[in-house]
Structures are given as C-alpha cells and as structure tokens.
Amino acid sequence: MSKNIIIRLKKAGNRVNSFSIKDDRGNLLATNVSRHSLIKGVSYSVDDSVLVIVLSSTDPKCCSSTWNIPVSTMTNVELAAIEYKDENTSSLWRHLTNTQIYNTFYGCIHPYIIEYPFSYQYYDEIVQNVKDYAKVYKYLPSTNGVFNYNQRIQPNDEYFNKMIIYNDQQSSGILNLVPKPKHDLSSYLKYPIFNTDSKTILFTKKDNFYQTNTFWNVTKDPLIPQFITPCSSLSIDKEVNQDNMDYSIKSFTKAKIRAKDLRVRLSLDNKDNVHLVTQFILSPSMKSYN
C-alpha cells in the first residue's frame, strides 16, 4: 500500500537553493528540487511504512547538509497556514563583550587562520622545522567587563591546534598540534599519531619559540589539487583535499618538503578562550642540490 505526502519548506537560508528527497528506506523520490518549489509544496507517493523523509541540500555552497523530517498528519487548513520564513537576517555584532572569549560569533567557534609565505633563492630548500614567535594569552575573569592587561597570563601549553605546510606540489596534510608531554616518556613515544584524515604531532615552547617538526609530504598525486573550496564558511578560503592525502605510516619513504617556496598555515578552531598575538615565524631549511 502507498500514501501521498506533501512536503513544504517552512524556513531556509539564502544559500540553500536545491534539494534531493529520499525516504527512510533509501528510495530516491526526487533530485534538484528547487527551494521555490518546496516553499509552494511538492507531493509524492511513498510506501505506507515510510515514517521519515530525508531532505538533502545539493547546492555546492552547502555541502550536502541533511535534515530528517518525520511524516505527520496535518489538515488542509494547517498545511495552508504554513508560512515560509527567511533565515537570513541583518544584525549588528557586538565584539569582545566577554573579555575571555575571542573567535566565537553568534555562539559558534570560527577558526582563526594565519598563513606565512616563504620564498628561497636559487636552490630548492628542504624545510626542517617551524619556529613561531607568538604571544599566547589567557585572560582571567573581569569584574567590570573591560580588558585589564593586569588580569592576563601566558601559558606554555596553549597554541594553534592545526598546521599545514605546503608548496605547489607537496603538502604535509593536516597536522594536529598538541603540547609535548612533560616528564612522561611513554606518552611522548606515542607520537606521531597517524589518523585517517590527519596526523597528530607535538609542539614545544623553548626560548619563547613554539617549535614543530615531524612532517613530510603526504600528497598522493601532484597533478591533483591539494585544496578544495569549502562551503561551510565563506570566510575560509580553502580546505585540504583529503582524497589526495595519504596519512599512512611510512618507515623509509618520507618525502621531504622541498621547493623554492613554502607556506605555513596555522589555525585555531577548537577553542575560543586564548588570545593569539602573532609576532613572526621562522622556517629553518637546508639547500637541496639534487
């Protein structure tokens, strides 16, 4: 037996323009259904056992977001009374009203990203490590809601949580950064940790430099783009093309990152309670004559 259902869109943002529709059995009901059509309402015939309709955005700007919609009973009057609401609204953002929070906007953490370019001279050069002179502050609670520089501390175990080192043909992939364990040799020997979509390495702070190493080229094919254009946030210019990265363990075939240029991309996207003041960065390297 089958039943007819009507799907109407109640609210959406302007970036969502087209959808695909499936039932909870995986049966495809329609593709490339426009937002305008869903606002007016579309009708489909489904099996009586279907309890949920799966609506997925197919617009490239929204990266296939998915919504599960329970099938419910409504009268014609209730259905006709549905009014579409545009989710895009204008507002003013009040920044730094909480002296302990930085890269949070509208309740969501947004990444703080900075990228350093390097260019070398005649010979190709091999990057050996990265040394970053940065000030990392944490502010203690303020009683009057105003910044007080006397209420800040500078911890040694806080820093960016991700790094990418790359040139036009090579990339380290995503490097997750964690502080070096202190007085714990067994924990130290666990690194680097190889994940399916990243590699976790250690950073240390010495002489006020944040230092990292343990990276090599993980690009599978230099003729395939290393980055893709993201759609989760328009403020992020690119994301790693994970399909072209190989994070598996390599004992003897670790290709060095070498070229006449280099870029170091640092990001903080897992916390909002540290204040990063970037000074300068060094990338010690050695000439490659091959």
Closest CA to 276 of 159, 198, 161: 159
pLDDT attached to residue 174:
95
Rounded average pLDDT over 55-69: 69
Predicted pLDDT of residue 234: 60
Q: Which two tokens stand for residue 31?
A: 């593709």
pLDDT score, position 94 = 66
Q: How confident is the model at residue 60 (pLDDT cuts 50, 70, 90)?
A: low
| Percent of the chain residues past pLDDT 70, beyond the cut | 87
Here the tokens at position 241 are: 């093309």
How many Å apart are CA 267 and CA 265, to the nearest integer?
7
**Which tokens is 34 given?**
């426009």
By mean pLDDT, which of 59-68, 106-115, 136-145, 271-280 is the weakest?
A: 59-68
| Helix ranges restricted to H, the chain | 35-40, 76-80, 185-188
- pLDDT-derived band at 289 (thresholds 50, 70, 90) equals low
CA distance 40 to 56: 18
pLDDT digit string, tens, across residues 19-58: 888 888 888 888 888 888 888 888 888 888 888 888 887 7
Tokens of 214: 């343990």
Tokens of 163: 């790094």
Q: What is the pLDDT of residues 221-231, one digit of tens each?
A: 999 999 988 76
For the full predicted model, state whether its pTM sits above 0.75.
no
Region 3-21: mean pLDDT is 80
- b/e burial code for range 139-163 (CB count within 10 A of at least 16 → b): beeeeeeeeeeeeeeeeeebbbbbb
pLDDT of residue 87: 66
Euclidean distance between CA atoms 239 and 229, whole angstroms = 6
Average pLDDT value for residue range 175-183: 92
Q: What is the mean pLDDT of residues 73-83?
A: 80
Q: Report the distance separating Cα 257 and Cα 176, nearest Å.
A: 18
CA distance 140 to 75: 56
pLDDT score recorded for residue 281? 75
Which of the given ranges, 12-26, 108-122, 230-244, 254-268, has the highest pLDDT on average? 254-268
What's the token pair of residue 271? 């916390």
Positions of E strands within 35-151: 42-47, 52-57, 66-70, 85-86, 104-105, 108-109, 112-119, 124-127, 130-139
- In contact, 61 and 236? CB cutoff 8 Å: no
